[in-house]
Amino acid sequence: MPRPIAVHVSIPAMQHNLAQIRTALAHQTSPLGRTSPKIWAVIKANAYGHGIEVAVQGFAQADGLALLDLNEAVRCRELGWHKPLMLLEGFFSAADLSLVDQYQMTTVVHCQEQLVVLESMIDQLQHPLNVMAKINTGMNRLGFAPEQFEAAFERLKQWQAQGYIAHLGKMTHFARADDDPSITYQQLQCFNQYTSHLAGMISVCNSAGTLTASLQQHLPSQFEQWVRPGICLYGASPFVAVAATELGLQPAQTLMAEIISVRDLGAHQGVGYGHSFISEQPMRLGVVACGYADGYPRHAPTGTPIWVEGKPSRLVGRVSMDMLMVDLTELPDAVVGSKVVLWGQGGPSVDEVALIAGTIGYELVCAVAPRVPRIVLEK
Ligand SMILES: *Cc1c(COP(=O)(O)O)cnc(C)c1O
């Protein structure tokens, strides 16, 4: 028998979250008399750990998919994804550009070096290319400097006029949409200042931006808009202070395991490596078949929420490679074989676990190990 651990991935939850985001966007834009933005569902990093195949199904109603691994992008096409497919980091070499062309992907162009590659190959492409030109408005990661953006954009527009480029848009990325709107407004101001006179669709919002209703009125209305939500589509919150359930989202990923051993413990007993937890009074402990080699965060401290048979309890002691211990003192019915949810449906949210473990839900959902059997829920 395999170890009693599994990760469930719910396609209906992904469908629900996408529909939820669409509804939220419609509510934001209709009072402004604008059409609702189109949605690139972000599926980078193997769809945040949920699997590319599952994402292509779960986000079938999205207007496009966005990711950054070329192999994963090719996989989407092979799985029958015919709508736009955007490479968030663009191409890394001339060879990549040939694949972008062959599979008719949309590429981000964010630096001079990419323009040089384009220059050398643009007249050899089989299809007109779709390009999103990226401007750095304060994230200071990818993107042309604001003062260099117009020249780069004009170069791309020349290629568009020559028929080498089909769609040409403008994008940027927020650094603090999850925690500081004032920085986001500064970034938007920069974006508008340097791009609003240049025609082309725009794409600026990640999950946090997409779920911040007040942003829409700061965006130019004359251009088609595409948003780029990621984490919220998987049912986790982009905001530390707002729970995913408050946003109407459902967890797409549930990490579950079983109790494989139960023991009674006297007072003043150390538990696990380093005896980081010492019992104050007699207690009952369960050993769960999940450890850091499965993707559970080793830094989760005693007290991290864990649910047993639908009831909340807590992690006790240090997380081992393949096991962790849970407090069963208040759960006398729990036995070997009882179901444990580490996060997701019927358990704590991945955001709660992440917060107490000093990380973010993004990292946890991405990090579930390949050795954990994956069960895809179609209903
Ligand atoms: C990851 C990413 C997104 C999605 O971010 P979330 O916070 O998961 O919504 C959007 N745009 C770019 C450029 C990204 O790298």
Mean pLDDT of successive 10-residue stretches along the chain, which has 379 residues: 94 98 96 95 98 98 97 98 98 96 98 97 97 98 98 98 98 96 96 97 98 93 97 97 97 98 98 97 98 98 98 98 98 98 98 98 98 97
Question: Whose alpha carbon is nearest atom 15 of ligand 1?
Answer: 88
List the beta bridge partners of residue 343.
Answer: 255
- Collapsed DSSP state (helix, strand, coil) of residue 332: coil
Residue closest to 173 by CA, chosen among 200, 207, 217: 207
The CA-atom distances, in angstroms, between 304 and each of 6, 30, 196, 327 are 20, 42, 47, 11
Q: Whose CA is nearest to atom 3 of ligand 1?
A: 206
Catalytic residue among 44, 83, 157, 339: 44
Q: Write out the two tokens for 132.
A: 């999103």
44 in catalytic set: yes
The residue to mutate among 48, 179, 228, 363, having the most atoms of ligand 1 within 8 angstroms of its beta carbon, is 228
Q: Which two tokens stand for residue 247?
A: 């946003």
Three-state DSSP class for residue 78: helix
For the segment 207-244, what is each residue's pLDDT rounded down to a tens digit? 999 999 999 999 999 999 999 999 999 999 999 999 99
Residue extents of the structural domains in the chain: 11-238, 253-377
**What phi and psi values does residue 26 have, to the nearest 5 degrees?**
-65, -40
Ligand 1 atom at shortest distance from the alpha carbon of 229: 9
Q: In angstroms, what is the span from residue 228 Cα to ligand 1's centroid?
A: 6
pLDDT of residue 1: 75
Distance 91 CA to ligand 1 centre (A): 18
Q: Is the dihedral of CA 302, 304, 307, 313 positive or negative?
A: positive
Pairing verdict, β 277-278 and 270-271? antiparallel
Q: How far apart are CA 212 and CA 205, in angstroms?
A: 9
Q: Whose CA is nearest to atom 4 of ligand 1?
A: 230
β-strand 283-288 against 324-327: which pairing, if any?
antiparallel
Q: Which residue is closest in CA terms to ligand 1's atom 1? A: 230
Please, what's the b/e burial string for 325-354 (b: 16 or more CB within 10 A of its CB; e: otherwise)? bbbbbebeebeeebbbbbbbbebbbbbbbb
CATH topology of domain 253-377: Lyase, Ornithine Decarboxylase; Chain A, domain 1 (2.40.37)
DSSP 8-state symbol, 324: E
Residues in the chain: 379
Distance 273 CA to ligand 1 centre (A): 37
Q: What pLDDT does residue 227 have?
A: 98
The pocket around ligand 1, CB under 6 angstroms, is made up of 42, 44, 88, 173, 206-207, 228-231, 238
Cβ count near 75 (within 10 Å): 16
* CATH tag, 11-238: 3.20.20.10
Å from CA of 112 to ligand 1 middle: 22
- pLDDT at position 2: 84
